[in-house]
A and B are shown apart, each in its own frame.
Chain A
């Protein structure tokens, strides 16, 4: 275990993550004034997903860690998306 070097993030990168999350939160509030109709949910989800990605990649170090973690995270996301797809497969044909 000790032979692996670990990446130490600077305060700046943490501040950057914080600012990005705050900005995206502001955007997701602002977007609600646009009255996008059915697209509302989609936009909100996309912004939320971007926030989650920022947290995972920079704050939680996926970018700097062993590739294995990134692979497993992607696999988990794939399973999650498939579950969503199968669920809404039912709804879209009802």
Chain B
């Protein structure tokens, strides 16, 4: 915007705008720099929350007090959840890759409101800082879990209010990004790019953006009501004052189930980009993928009750929510079918992004099927609040969003940094991470079926063997994550330079821009005549 183009072929990493040094980044309205700001912020907090997770797994390697007691453990899973959910996976792919690649993929110079975009990042940072104060001020870190369930969240002496307010502020960042993307997609598509010529990642961003806009206010209001309940005792959720704690759960999950689709939908978009490129084949069922994204976004609003099957809802509501949950599995399965059909008889190219994409499908399927196990009323009664839920959740959110994030960063890395990552280390990292992931989470399924509850620092001796396996898996996975992160950070600084516009042979627009892209992406606005993925 105000930082107008001075010379045409300077990459966005190097150009000099109004500000120098770090100010040139944290005050830049360039969508690509903002995307990287999010990436770096997330990298820092992901590392923190992953270490918390590792410490919890070390605690669980043996029954009883291993390295921490119950209070510390409660604080740790709460902070792990709050950081991972509200700071990493909810902004996740849209904030990083949406910001960076949405304008490139639809042939725009930037998002529709670049200043608002920068403001979103600042609000995000402010929200993080508020959340962090909950650790150091007042009467000890929060211990409610990331769900802040009533009535405990206003009875615990711990320091809940900053965490609630921080999550509330983070929500604004999410809403503003959503508004920005909806307007960008409606108004800034390049000439010739009709709705059904738009690549699939922007499509999923579009569906996601609507959920961000419509669902996030609900959690905002709910968190504020909880703050009011705690500080003023207004009596909305507190049964002692005539309130209804189940109403809290309704309101919380009206946001937090669609939030799962905020996390996963852009991931599905990334996989839909990578599979056709590395199969050298047109995507199978483009329209089915588009429509299933919209269907997931829509139906996903009405399934939240499956988190509350044992909370005391009415029987008819239980039945309705279970039915709707089964319904939402269909569009997800449509996508999996389309990806497999795309690969069928394609000329597969075995490189790192493809490995991540295929392993994504694998873990996403396990996560999805275990979701149906939890979605049926009878099995849910047995499995509710056990380690089965933890396993399912991590297969979907870490296996889904995490794997697609890693797929995306390896796929777009050369475009983002103008350098190539070291492919052999990337592949070693993938193998170690994937093996660690399965070793960590698969035993949790059987632990849950055996009856080990979640959110306890201790367990009965019969759960010991599977817990050892799971904790060793956690260490292996962290080792894999370290290989991947070190390799990417090193490659971003010292990797082999490349100016090649299209290293993977992709057909979408971002591969026609310079590598790395210039400040406003295009010297000439590209025109689109073909559908994407025409091989």
**Hey, which bits of chain A sit against chain B, CB under 8 A?**
1, 76, 79-80, 82-83, 86-87, 89-94
Contact = CB atoms under 8 A, between A and B. Distances in A.
A83 B302 contact: yes
Contact of B254 (A83, A93, A94): A83
29 contacts: A1-B187, A76-B214, A79-B214, A79-B298, A80-B214, A82-B301, A83-B301, A83-B302, A86-B302, A86-B305, A86-B317, A86-B320, A87-B250, A87-B254, A89-B314, A89-B316, A89-B317, A90-B246, A90-B250, A90-B305, A90-B313, A90-B316, A90-B317, A91-B314, A92-B314, A93-B315, A93-B317, A94-B313, A94-B314
A16 B246 CA distance: 42
The secondary-structure label for the interface of chain B is helix
B183 to A, nearest CB: 11
| Residue picked from A1, A79, A83, most chain B C-beta under 10 Å | A83
Contacts, number: 36
A93 B254 CA distance: 19
Interface string B69-97: 00000000000000000000000000000
Interface string B428-449: 0000000000000000000000
Contacts of A86: 302, 305, 317, 320
Given A1-B187, A76-B214, A94-B314, A89 B320 contact: yes
A92 B316 CA distance: 10
Contact of B302 (A82, A92, A94): A82
A93 B314 contact: yes
Interface residues of B, number: 15
A89 B313 CA distance: 10
A90 B314 contact: yes
The secondary-structure label for the interface of chain A is helix
A61 B26 CA distance: 36
Given A86-B320, A91-B314, 6 more contacts: A1-B187, A83-B254, A89-B314, A89-B316, A90-B305, A93-B315
A90 B302 CA distance: 12
A82 B258 CA distance: 14
Contacts of B314: 89-94
Interface in B447-474: none
Contacts of A76: 214
Nearest to B182: A72
Nearest to A76: B214
Nearest to B303: A86
B28 to A, nearest CB: 24
Q: Give me the 3 closest cross-chain CB pairs, A-B, nearest first.
A: A93-B314, A90-B317, A94-B314
Interface in B273-312: 298, 301-302, 305
A82 B301 CA distance: 9
Nearest to B246: A90
Given A87-B250, A87-B254, A79 B301 contact: yes
Contacts of A87: 250, 254
Contacts of B298: 79
Contacts of B187: 1
Interface string B316-336: 110010000000000000000
A93 B250 contact: no
Contacts of B250: 87, 90
A1 B112 CA distance: 12
A4 B214 CA distance: 28
Nearest to B213: A76
Contacts of B317: 86, 89-90, 93
A70 to B, nearest CB: 15
A26 to B, nearest CB: 26
Nearest to B318: A90
Nearest to A92: B314
Interface string B183-195: 0000100000000
B316 A93 contact: yes
Contacts of B305: 86, 90
